[in-house]
A = this chain, B = another copy of it.
Amino acid sequence: MIPLDGKNYAEWYLDIVEKAGLSDKRYPIKGMNVWTPYGWKIMRSIDGFIRDELDDTGHDEVCFPLLIPETEFKKEKDHIKGFDSEVYWVTKAGDNELDVPLVVRPTSETAMYPMFSLWIRSHQDLPLKIYQIVNTFRYETKQTRPFIRVREIHFFESHTCHDTEEDAQRQIDEDLSILEKVMDRLCLPYFLLKRTDWDKFPGAHYTVGIDTVMPNYRTLQLGSVHHYRTNFSVPYDITYEDESGEHKHVHQTTYGMSERLLGAVISVHGDDKGLVMPPDIAPYQVVIIPIISKKNAEEVKLEAEKIALILRESGVRTHLDNRDDRPGSKFYDWEIKGVPLRLELGARDIENEVITFARRDNGEKGTISSDSLVSGVRLILAEIKKDMRSKAEAFQASSVLPIGSLDDVPERVVTFPWCGSVECGGESRGEGHQDPGHTVSCGEA
């Protein structure tokens, strides 16, 4: 493992992604990587929490087609202008040139809204709240990086339609409360920054970006919430009949976050030894390493199996590492993969009716009494979760400096008052985001 010393974050990141088995970037298309089993498990676990929250708030899951006819794609002119340079085009099928070229979804507004126009008739059909978890495609010309800047992007997108602007605004409040629950699972702090007019999503009335601070003191945009007002419902003709029989355009919002959530989990929590997984999304929350000598091999193995069974039955995701290898080498492997809690079991532990533990996040060691195994493990996992978020919050707080003018900008994220003009805004030093954005976000004072 390359140690993380603050300056070498980029190399450290690539090293950890490879060593932990999260993704393979040797696929023969730049920026389109293979989700290998460990990485995909984590992503699916994140997806699961998002799905739970969206289901609980009355969103219905759907799946729209990947391909969008050019004719539909071009209906909202700001939107197409924003995406024109970064979409993939299907122009041929079999041996035929297609009459209407098809866009590979860069986001699904233009796929969904022609259907919304058919689905919504009356105020009783509102609010309409749907979401999908799919991959999306952007022809990224900058340097790519796994999970952070890729050309095939795993993400969720929710789309809602409302009778009034106020109801749409309530939806955005709900989105932000969902966000807090998801970020709590990931132990990630974040900023909410309303984007400038030139930085908002193409077609949006306004955009709130969700950003977090990376070890190199730059922000990473994880997702965003958009209020569209009627900017799309007018060109796509999405109307409802209100109680008095009048036809009105719906107000719309969208909300999306991508696999950058995983990129942030890796970067914010990782250390010199590898990943540090938040307990809620760790594929294994506990790994058990039997410490075996020739004399006691059978006894220790049996006891380790018993413990694994008890933990699994109580719902703790547990792996028993029975490989024929040195304990030190196993410690090393599971530290790279970031398993939150390691349990070690040797003859002396069995004699003393305890099990030895080591926390991945802070290295703390101790013992749990055998007769309170499950509650002891649960307690430590809860503490790990709390401490991981606190540590990340402390880093984020330390990384933000209030400054007086652009001359004082240091090498970290800053917040400063801004008059709101394009000219002044253009002076800020920006790093592009995959979702159009800038690193130096003006926390609109």
Contact = CB atoms under 8 A, between A and B. Distances in A.
Contacts of A85: 94-95
A103 to B, nearest CB: 10
A65 to B, nearest CB: 4
B29 A102 contact: yes
Interface string A49-71: 00000000000111111110101
B63 A40 contact: yes
B62 A115 contact: no
A33 interface: yes
A435 interface: no
Contacts of A34: 62-65, 115
A77 interface: no
Contacts of A135: 63, 66
A154 B115 CA distance: 20
A34 to B, nearest CB: 5
Interface residues of A, number: 52
A291 interface: no
A89 B95 CA distance: 10
A28 B72 contact: yes
Contacts of A92: 88-89, 91, 101
Nearest to A141: B94
A26 interface: yes
Interface in A62-109: 62-67, 69, 71-72, 84-96, 101-102, 104
A24 interface: yes
A127 to B, nearest CB: 14
Nearest to A38: B60
A66 B94 CA distance: 17
A139 interface: yes
B91 A87 contact: no
A251 B71 CA distance: 46
Contacts of A104: 66, 90, 104
A34 B132 CA distance: 11
A296 to B, nearest CB: 28
Contacts of A419: none
A181 interface: no
A21 to B, nearest CB: 10
A36 interface: yes
Given A26-B115, A115-B24, A118-B26, A62 B91 contact: no
B29 A130 contact: no
A433 interface: no
A214 to B, nearest CB: 24
B91 A91 contact: yes
Given A87-B94, A90-B88, A93-B87, A28 B69 contact: yes
A27 B65 CA distance: 8
B28 A114 contact: yes
Nearest to A26: B118
A92 B89 CA distance: 5
A102 B91 CA distance: 11
Contacts of A96: 139
B69 A29 contact: yes
9 contacts: A27-B64, A29-B65, A29-B69, A34-B62, A40-B62, A66-B66, A66-B104, A84-B95, A104-B104
CB-based closest 5 A-B pairs: A37-B60, A93-B139, A35-B63, A32-B65, A89-B92
Given A32-B65, A37-B60, A94-B139, 7 more contacts: A26-B118, A27-B65, A28-B71, A28-B114, A29-B69, A34-B64, A35-B63
